[in-house]
Structure 1
């Protein structure tokens, strides 16, 4: 198969940042994706409906003329989030989900949740509304090894929380382990899971072998090869539980190549080429549309996009820029370490 046409995909986990960075990276997402769930971990975070509306307006203002792209807004869940404000924002059509960050789990998560009992009233209202809770699934306890944080979160936090609030619709974002895959598969129609592009390609050796590779450092951190293979199996399975969320996270290169480098991989420009490579290797190109274009809309109760995206396999490697220049500084593009031959053609 040398070409494949799929409904235009969506990105169900995207960081666009704000200001000059937003202006520099928005086109990379809008070029290939029709919609994206926008992460709210700005400084300060997006915690109210009014703040979400203002952020959406800034995103649309930064969108280059002639590009079509719909930002799907989220609210950052805090221990003081007002259930009535959530309901108003959801009922207006503005907000599609809330985001749960355990405090300190990742970039700009200091305002996140420490006492999960304090957010139960909001979660109960969300269950009534059918509004998904997008979960960064890691504990932050200092005595838990960073490679075990996802599995421990499932046991200590996620499963008890879902039992406490039956009917709550949850997205396990950027799962990285076979434990996450297994739990997502067992969760029924109210549980979904996003998988990133980079976690389908790298394991922890890519970060550490032969010297520290800061542009492969992300949170949740990449795990052992056996976990990567479990993610590939889930993504290419066609199962409705799993869908694409790139977690594309732009940081200026100097803040990645740093004594305390930022976590995140910038994958928006080459995600679709990378996915075609992975799916072809698994003889699963026929499942790509399901993962990238169909399962996400189904979980979020939205229609599949009418527009299409065509991928064509070239004889020569596709050229991608090493960096994306922005007003906030250059951003280094995720490099898989091998040539890519699948090229995107939008129609």
Structure 2
């Protein structure tokens, strides 16, 4: 594809998204709904979403946040997930399978990222009955793939997780559907590409576009700090190769994670990059840099539904080759937040199909 002026494709979905709650939810959900038809919504609220009833209540709050004068502003479907804990039971899994609005369980190793203190500490012990039920009933497990041992270098946490957790998980539950979320390393890409059984990996715009130098360019840059953290250039290239390949195992998941500006720019700043505002512009930039704009639709719109067994969307969106300057700030309830790559100019602008 040689320098097209427009790029029209099937409306995509976001297979990894943080929406928060309350006023923060109201501030950000429309950004996602403007570009995406559906999104897998993460359950790591301040009070984790651990039951079907909690997921349904959260879904109602998301849909309410999209309304104006009692009517939905846009058509958007939140796909709910439950937070896997040491106390999750096989019955919890059966309840989730029987709910049409719950699509997966999320594994957070305890302490791995934002609001992960309730995460799993005994995956192959206390969680085994739940994993067995998930495997039997076809319920996907979404994995934050990092170990949290303080003696493991933060840049090696994903690779060590593969050796310590993923290999054993696949051996014990070979037919469990697994999504290795927000891959950041060549190790992760190679594992997902070659692993047996039903497995996929999501890729974020920040990990496709930037390496770890971005965190320190011109001083400490907190708005490029996320977990898993950005890695070396060799890993970024491996991720980009995977995203633009023919493999059906890699698809879009922004991991867009809003935090108020003052919580990012703090002595102990929060991890997370906000990209929902301009996600498709960022992905188009990455794919164009790789010379593979022709692969963007498959990555963004086709592979995710295939893995989750959902229909492909029927509407379309268009990206136009025109300058788009990322805002310096956007409203976030009573606060503001800084979007990823704030102040920079991209070559693509989103519009409806």
- Calculate the TM-score normalised by the size of structure 1: 0.97
CA deviations on 1:174-220 (whole Å, 9 max, x unpaired) are 00000000000012450100000111111111102431100000000
What is aligned with 2:28? Answer: 25
Q: What CA RMSD, in Å, does the superposition of the two structures yield over aligned residues? A: 1.2
After TM superposition, the structure 1 stretch with the greater mean CA deviation from structure 2, 82-91 or 305-314, is 82-91
Q: Select the residue among 99, 107, 116 that pairs with 1:109.
A: 116
1:49 and 1:86 in contact (8 A); partners too: no
CA deviations on 1:148-184 (whole Å, 9 max, x unpaired) are 0000000001110121112101000000000000000
- How many residues are paired up? 345
What is aligned with 1:274? Answer: 282
Q: Unaligned regions of 5+ residues in structure 2, if any?
A: none
Could you list the runs of 4 or more consecutive aligned residues of structure 1 that deviate by over 4 angstroms after TM superposition? none
What is aligned with 1:346? Answer: 352
SS of the equivalent of 1:330 reads: strand
Q: Unaligned regions of 5+ residues in structure 1, if any?
A: none
CA deviations on 1:102-154 (whole Å, 9 max, x unpaired) are 00000000000111121111011001111110000000001100000000000
Q: Select the residue among 236, 239, 248 that pairs with 1:231.
A: 239
What is aligned with 2:229? Answer: 221
TM-superposed CA distance for 1:92, in Å, is 2.2
CA distance in 2, matches of 1:293, 1:258: 37
What is aligned with 2:86? Answer: 79
- Calculate the TM-score normalised by the size of structure 2: 0.96
SS of the equivalent of 1:163 reads: helix
What is aligned with 1:125? Answer: 133
Distance 1:336 1:177, change over 3 A: farther
CA distance in 1, matches of 2:230, 2:343: 16
1:252 and 1:328 in contact (8 A); partners too: no
SS of the equivalent of 1:114 reads: coil
Q: Select the residue among 103, 111, 134 that pairs with 1:96.
A: 103
CA deviations on 1:256-278 (whole Å, 9 max, x unpaired) are 00000000000001110111111
CA distance in 1, matches of 2:244, 2:198: 21
After TM superposition, the structure 1 stretch with the greater mean CA deviation from structure 2, 219-228 or 325-334, is 325-334
1:178 and 1:227 in contact (8 A); partners too: yes
What is aligned with 2:164? Answer: 156
What is aligned with 1:50? Answer: 53
CA deviations on 1:35-61 (whole Å, 9 max, x unpaired) are 000000011100001100100001000
1:101 and 1:112 in contact (8 A); partners too: yes
